[in-house]
Amino acid sequence: MNRNEIKKKELALISSKEKENPLLFKKETFIESPEFLKKFGIFIKGKDNYPLGYLKLWPQDFIVEETDDSGKLHTINTSEEKEVNGEGKTIYATMVKCGLSTLEAVEELSNILNLDKKKINFAGIKDKDAITSQLISMRGVNINDVKNIESPSLFLKDIYHGKGIVEIGKLKSNKFTILIRTTKDFQKKLFLDNLKKLDKEGFFNFFYLQRFGTPRLINFHWGFLILKGEYEKAVLSFLSSPGERELPYFIKLREKLKENFGNWQEIENILSPLPLFFQCELRVVSFLKKYPNNFAGALKEIPEQIKLWIFAFSSLLFNDKLSSYIKEGKEPPEIIPLILSDDKKDLEIYKTILSKNKADETIFNNLNNFPFIQLKKREINTKEKINIIDYKIVNEGVILSFTLPKGSYATTFLSQLFNLASGLPPKDIYNYTIDTKATLGEESLENVLNKFKDVIYSKEDSPQN
């Protein structure tokens, strides 16, 4: 059974469970208020007065197109697809996807091509609830097999032979075309004044919520447990701790996992009906069935996730440090290093924060168990400039087209214009679709949306949101 068949089976199961008990699938509207953002170290002055803005009602409300390190923009447009000549053992392509994270899309390609996913490379992770495009490279695969790939969730274009590979971080910027849906009391003047200010001064470069693993938003806690060497607690929390925004169905399921912690066969039985949704959990549990007390080894089964958790913890500390300057009315330094540094001066910056959490620099010795994470100097800009390409205020809200340098979150920028909302859409927003590209005078989304017609859901209808 291929991934798409498994996904359909999962959705059918969730749909049947919802019919049995609708209350377990009751959705809520989550507003990223100043109080809520404090949990993630984020402080934005004056945010109480910002208008409400809803993101990603439809995947096409959030479009991301990558500019590679050579300066070429990889668009989602189907009309630009063309034959490209080249020489070398590497196959390059622009991957356009919908409803998958980059890591999930790589998994999909790996299964379709019967290719080790380590041989599929990309520069950056793109959003899941969006339509995105990015350059990827593949080694050890026939170009005709790549050209014949069929998937409802992704397609490849501009496929050619070349040399080398795409390397992590080797991109210049991302272009965003985003519809922020607003309520009927939207204050246009306040928005335009703030937009003008940010365009001139830049925005504070916080790590935003996707860094912390939506919908659960607790991966930084797992990262901290790993750094403290508390691997069993990390596994327990990963499997069973309820998330900030999970549906009641999944919260109750995780309660069962906690009750059966240590009975790995039973936990596998509980998770196995949803093998895609719980694919990382199942990898961990599968290892623990063979080696019941080797919790560090179990965590090594999901190295990509472990990296995200460790960096989420360091991101939380960065946010907290940046916010401390803003709260005191001080201009922050141009850069703040992350705590994951081999320079002791960088660690000194976070000494007080670590002490409050009953930890010190020795916690990083535990990374010796995870050699795929290296301590090295990593400096982050405290402010980023934004390049506004175009914007238009429409009945549905605001369409914004802009570019950001690599590593910056569009939602970080937008959070300094709106109190962002997610989950169940507020009742007083327009919920129908809009062709954002065409509205801004660019190529219509019609052909792209037709390719993704089987995976396009509204947040009102999607069974897993």
445 token code pair: 């989304």
User: Measured between alpha carbons, how far is 90 from 84 in angstroms, rounded to an integer?
Assistant: 13
Tell me the β-bridge partners of 171. 68
377 token code pair: 């100097």
Signed CA dihedral, 212, 218, 223, 228: sign only:
positive
Q: What is this structure's pTM? A: 0.90
b (16+ CB within 10 A) / e for 332-369: beeebbbbbbeeeebbebbeebbeeeeeeeebbebbee
Q: Are the C-beta atoms of residues 56 and 214 closer than 8 Å to each other? A: no
Q: Are the C-beta atoms of residues 299 and 234 closer than 8 Å to each other? A: yes
Where exactly does CATH 3.30.2350.20 map onto the chain?
63-173
Q: What is the DSSP letter of 424?
A: S
User: Measured between alpha carbons, how far is 153 from 250 in angstroms, rounded to an integer?
Assistant: 24
CATH of domain 63-173: 3.30.2350.20
Q: Own/partner pairs for 352-356, CB < 8 Å, 24+ apart?
A: 353/317, 353/320, 353/321
pLDDT of 184 = 87
What are the pLDDT tens digits along the chain (465 aa)? 677 788 889 989 999 999 999 999 988 999 999 999 999 999 999 898 899 999 999 999 999 999 999 999 999 998 765 556 677 899 999 999 999 999 999 999 999 999 999 999 999 999 899 999 999 999 999 999 999 999 999 999 999 999 999 999 999 999 999 999 999 889 899 999 999 999 999 999 999 999 999 899 999 999 999 999 999 999 999 999 998 889 999 999 999 999 999 999 999 999 999 999 999 999 999 999 999 999 999 999 999 999 999 999 999 999 999 999 999 999 999 999 999 999 989 989 999 888 888 888 889 999 999 999 999 999 999 999 999 999 999 999 999 999 999 989 999 999 999 999 988 898 889 999 999 999 999 999 999 999 999 999 898 776 554
Neighbours of 113 (CB within 10 A): 20
Q: How far is CA 215 from the centre of its chain?
A: 10
Which is nearest to 153 in space by CA: 210, 104, 92?
Answer: 104
Peptide bond into 303 cis (omega under 30): no
pLDDT of 465 = 46
SS3 sequence of the chain: CCHHHHHHHHHHHHHHHHHHCHHHHCCCEEECCHHHHHHHCCCCCCHHHCCEEECCCCHHHEEEEEEECCCCEECCCCCCCCCCCCCCCEEEEEEEEECCCHHHHHHHHHHHHCCCHHHEEECCCCCCCCEEEEEEEEECCCHHHHHCCCCCCEEEEEEEEECCCCCCCCEEEEEEEEEEEECCCCCHHHHHHHHHHHHHHCEECCCCHHHHCCCCCCHHHHHHHHHCCCHHHHHHHHHHCCCCCCCHHHHHHHHHHHHCCCCHHHHHHHHCCCCCCCHHHHHHHHHHHHCCCCHHHHHCCCHHHHHHHHHHHHHHHHHHHHHHHHHCCCCCCCEEECCCCCCHHHHHHCHHHHHHCCCCHHHHHHHHHCCCCCCCCCEEECEECCEEEEEEEECCEEEEEEEEECCCCHHHHHCCCCEEEEECCCCCCCCCCCCHHHHCCCCCCHHHHHHCCCCCCCCCCCCCC
